[in-house]
Structure 1
Amino acid sequence: MDSLSIFSLILSAGFVVQMVMLILILMSIYSWTLILSKKKILIDTNKNIKLFHQNFSANIDLEKLAYQTLKKDINQSSMERIFSTGFQELTHTTSDFNQVLIIDAERAYRVMNTMANNEVNRLDSGLSILAMIASSSPYIGLFGTVWGIMHSFIGLASVKQATVAIVAPGIAEALIATAFGLFAAIPATIAYNRLISQVESINNKYTAFVEQLFVLFQRQNRQ
């Protein structure tokens, strides 16, 4: 019965308030779509990082690992792209893959950092929209509430005697807009903080890996 009364209040709300509710529903749907898709990407990325670290630890020979990585071409994971980009910058490959010319490890380090930053930017894309939804939804809902209450009180001007039964429905309709705003904002805020911390954690893993490779490249340079 409560849900039916709320539904009837939504249907009987003014046009502006209904438009505000519709906008907030669309924002909520978009934020949940973004949250779920981004969550899957981050889970897959963490899984690929773990698998690559296992493979990296098992392969002391960088040339062999680079050959295996380059064979994947477009199916490379983020860590494989960072590694292969750095190794290609470190070496000039001749027709024989095993014959390599060592180049400056500093250049490889800069290229790997650039690639790592690109990967982080890819993971970070869309989160700014989620932050915008989280911050703007309550204000959009509040606008609908203020507009609805304002028109409720304007409607009282034509009534000789104002009672709770007359005022309450209009105010209730207006307050639903605020509820919609919070419904869109709260999950977006929680998800944004959670996702941004996960992206930062992955960024730290990229940074540590690039530093580790830089040390290995410098050692190879001295050989």
Structure 2
Amino acid sequence: MKSIAFRAHCAAALLCSLLLVPSAYADEPTPADAVQTPPAVTAEAPAAADAGAIPAVDANAAPAAPGDVALEGEEAVLAEEEGLMHDLTPWGMYQNADVVVKAVMIGLMLASVLTWTIWIAKSIELITSRRRLRRELGDLKGARNLNQAAEQARAKHSFSALLIDDAREELKLSAGSKEKDGIKERVSFRLERLVAACGRDMSHGTGVLATIGSVAPFVGLFGTVWGIMNSFIGIAKSQTTNLAVVAPGIAEALLATALGLVAAIPAVVIYNVFARSIASYKAQVADASAQVLLLVSRDLDLPVASSERAAQPHMVKAV
């Protein structure tokens, strides 16, 4: 019985061992699996390679950016050198300016030259006229009657001769009139018209100064606006905001405004000076006119006074 049980146990152990061996071999990796594992690794390797390929492309693209930056830097340097090569003197800025800005500058320079020409010519005219009138006033004050004043004025070819001739012409036209006050009023009216005409003649040219003084700043501003507009167009075309490139165009535009002020400021100052000088000259002419009217009144009254003295009886001194 024991031998039978022992044999049964051995058979059961053998059977269990036979059942466990295949399961153990199934858990161990097979050679096929070992062979197939490297392809899995290699399949993952291209993926890793592909994943690393993107940084490789970025690494190749990164050096291109510094090249572009270097190229832009070279262009900026060239643009800066070109800007520095601009002649920033007034004459150089005029030569590099636009056609419209050049026309504005030429017009303003001509206006400035005209202003100083009028100042020189009118100053000489005013100085000589005022000196001559000062001497003529002295002669008129020293004359006893209108005829004596006329002789002195003709001898010196003075301006007072015009006043005296107008007064004598009115006296000749009013020879038959007995209204002395009416004669004096008519003579005074003619002399006033002559004084006004002298003031208008002396004011010739000052209107040009007023026009230049009021218009020149706006003309210069127009040139500046036009020049700055062209500068911005150049900035858009060159696609750079480098100050060395932008500054010359803006400087050329601002030169037009500077020329406008150079033309306008002296014109306004000279106009005001001439306005005061011409007013003083007209006052001197009015003084000369009043002196001529005084001589006319004296000539009208002297014959009456002499006739009245002649009509008075002579007093006989008693012995």
Check the 8 A contact 1:83/1:112 in 2, yes or no: no
How big is the shift at 1:35?
Answer: 1.2
Percent identical residues: 33
Check the 8 A contact 2:143/2:149 in 1, yes or no: yes
Task: Structure 2 unaligned segments of length 5 or more: list them.
Answer: 1-86, 303-319
- After TM superposition, the structure 1 = structure 2 runs for residues 1-223 of structure 1, keeping only pairs within 5 Å, are 5-69=89-153, 71=154, 76-91=157-172, 104-223=183-302
How big is the shift at 1:92?
Answer: 5.8
In the superposition, the TM-score normalised over structure 2's length comes to 0.61
Instruction: Note closer, same or farther for the CA distance 1:12–1:24 as it changes in structure 2 (3 Å cut).
Output: same
Bigger Rg, structure 1 or 2: 2
Task: Structure 1 unaligned segments of length 5 or more: list them.
Answer: 95-100
User: Which residue identity lines up with residue 260 of structure 2 in the other structure?
Assistant: G
Tell me, in whole angstroms, the C-alpha distance in 2 between the residues paired with 1:4 and 1:212: 62
Alignment correspondent of 1:98: none
How big is the shift at 1:25?
Answer: 0.9
Tell me, in whole angstroms, the C-alpha distance in 2 between the residues paired with 1:59 and 1:213: 10
Check the 8 A contact 2:139/2:152 in 1, yes or no: no
Q: Which moved more, 1:103-112 or 1:42-51?
A: 103-112
Check the 8 A contact 1:9/1:172 in 2, yes or no: yes
Tell me, in whole angstroms, the C-alpha distance in 2 between the residues paired with 1:158 and 1:121: 56
Check the 8 A contact 1:109/1:214 in 2, yes or no: yes
Q: Secondary structure at the match of 2:89?
A: helix
Q: Secondary structure at the match of 2:160?
A: helix
In the superposition, the TM-score normalised over structure 1's length comes to 0.86
Runs of 4+ that moved beyond 4 A: none
Alignment correspondent of 1:97: none
How big is the shift at 1:106?
Answer: 1.4
* Alignment root-mean-square deviation, CA: 2.4
Tell me, in whole angstroms, the C-alpha distance in 2 between the residues paired with 1:77 and 1:182: 41
Aligned residues: 212
Check the 8 A contact 1:52/1:80 in 2, yes or no: no
Greater RCO between the two (CA within 8 Å, min separation 6)? 1
Tell me, in whole angstroms, the C-alpha distance in 1 between the residues paired with 2:131 and 2:174: 30
Check the 8 A contact 1:78/1:119 in 2, yes or no: no
How big is the shift at 1:216?
Answer: 3.7
Deviations along 1:147-166, one digit per CA (max 9) or x if unpaired, are 10011112111122211111
User: Which residue identity lines up with residue 189 of structure 2 in the other structure?
Assistant: R
User: Which residue identity lines up with residue 249 of structure 2 in the other structure?
Assistant: G
How big is the shift at 1:32?
Answer: 1.2
Tell me, in whole angstroms, the C-alpha distance in 2 between the residues paired with 1:77 and 1:166: 65
Q: Which moved more, 1:197-206 or 1:15-24?
A: 197-206
Instruction: Note closer, same or farther for the CA distance 1:143–1:169 as it changes in structure 2 (3 Å cut).
Output: same
How big is the shift at 1:203?
Answer: 1.1
How big is the shift at 1:138?
Answer: 0.9
Instruction: Note closer, same or farther for the CA distance 1:157–1:4 as it changes in structure 2 (3 Å cut).
Output: closer
Tell me, in whole angstroms, the C-alpha distance in 2 between the residues paired with 1:219 and 1:60: 9
